[in-house]
Amino acid sequence: MTTEGQISQPLSAGRMLAITAGALIAASAIVFGAILPAEFNIDPLRLGQLTGLNRLWAPREVPFDITKSEVPLAREYPSGFRSDTIEIPLNPDGSRQGGDQLEYKVRMRKDATLIYEWSVADIPHSTEFYFDFHGHTLSDGKEMTVATYKKDTGTGANGALTAPFDGVHGWYFQNQSLNNVIVRVKISGFYELIAPGEIGNEAHVIANVPADRAIAKK
């Protein structure tokens, strides 16, 4: 018997159950293997890691208003003052092997201060070098707070930062010129360096060594 809007020969119960089970298995494979890792950072089968799909996921960014602060102008810290010089080599824009951009951050507690000076030589025109000075909390798996201090082009800056929250704070540098360049960052204050490969130093930068040894082998 055919019902309105159906196939003329209804499938047998066995075939129907097989198709439904197959559809459920295929759907679950897609959901658990691809959608959950890419959209929700859930990776029960580790397939997201294997395929790299989990890199599509990013925590939701919550912008932080950096214009408000109630930190006293004079303050003390228990310990931890340090100074570091970081030399960062960057390849020319569009290099086939990449390396024309990276991010370098340090770990800071809320209200800790550092002073900095960075500059880059061999940039023909100051608009050919881009930086994004920012900080963010470590993601809780859902969202993270992001503070943008300055985004601009230019070949250097000097200043101070008081961290608005516990997290990682630093620079994204992008070489848009056709030269090999070295960025020299000098920082002093109350912060910790981040070990190569950890969040904030994914580019594996080593501090206090000459530029030719500053990128650790991954």
Q: Applying CB under 8 A, which part among 28-36, 83-91, 148-156, 195-203 lies near other proteins? A: 28-36
The answer to whether 58 contacts other proteins (rule: CB under 8 A) is yes
DSSP letter assigned to residue 39: I
Q: Which is nearer to other proteins, 12 or 67 (CB)?
A: 12
Distance (Å, whole) CA 133 – CA 208: 21
Report in angstroms how near the CB of residue 115 gets to other proteins at its nearest. 36
DSSP letter assigned to residue 204: -
**CB of 140 within 8 A of CB of 201?**
no
**Residue (of 176, 159, 173) closest to 203 by Cα position:** 173
The answer to whether 63 contacts other proteins (rule: CB under 8 A) is no
Tell me the two tokens of residue 21: 């089970």
Q: Identify the three-state secondary structure at position 31.
A: helix
Residues in a beta bridge with 101: 174
Site residues (CB under 8 A) for other proteins, limited to 122-141? 141
The answer to whether 36 contacts other proteins (rule: CB under 8 A) is yes
Q: Applying CB under 8 A, which part among 10-18, 162-170, 171-179, 210-218 lies near other proteins? A: 10-18
Q: Which is nearer to other proteins, 32 or 130 (CB)?
A: 32
Q: Applying CB under 8 A, which part among 2-10, 102-110, 130-138, 179-187 lies near other proteins? A: 2-10
The answer to whether 47 contacts other proteins (rule: CB under 8 A) is no
**Residue (of 135, 112, 134, 185) closest to 155 by Cα position:** 185
The answer to whether 62 contacts other proteins (rule: CB under 8 A) is no
Centroid of chain to Cα 164: 18
Q: Which is nearer to other proteins, 34 or 66 (CB)?
A: 34
Distance (Å, whole) CA 100 – CA 179: 10
Q: Which is nearer to other proteins, 40 or 149 (CB)?
A: 40
**CB within 8 Å of 13: residues ≥ 6 apart:** none
Report in angstroms how near the CB of residue 208 gets to other proteins at its nearest. 38
Distance (Å, whole) CA 206 – CA 194: 9
First to last CA, the chain: 67
Q: Applying CB under 8 A, which part among 11-19, 65-73, 111-119, 128-136 lies near other proteins? A: 11-19
Site residues (CB under 8 A) for other proteins, limited to 136-165? 141-143
Binding stretches for other proteins (CB under 8 A) = 1, 3-13, 16-17, 19-20, 22-24, 26-28, 30-31, 34-36, 39-42, 58, 60, 141-143
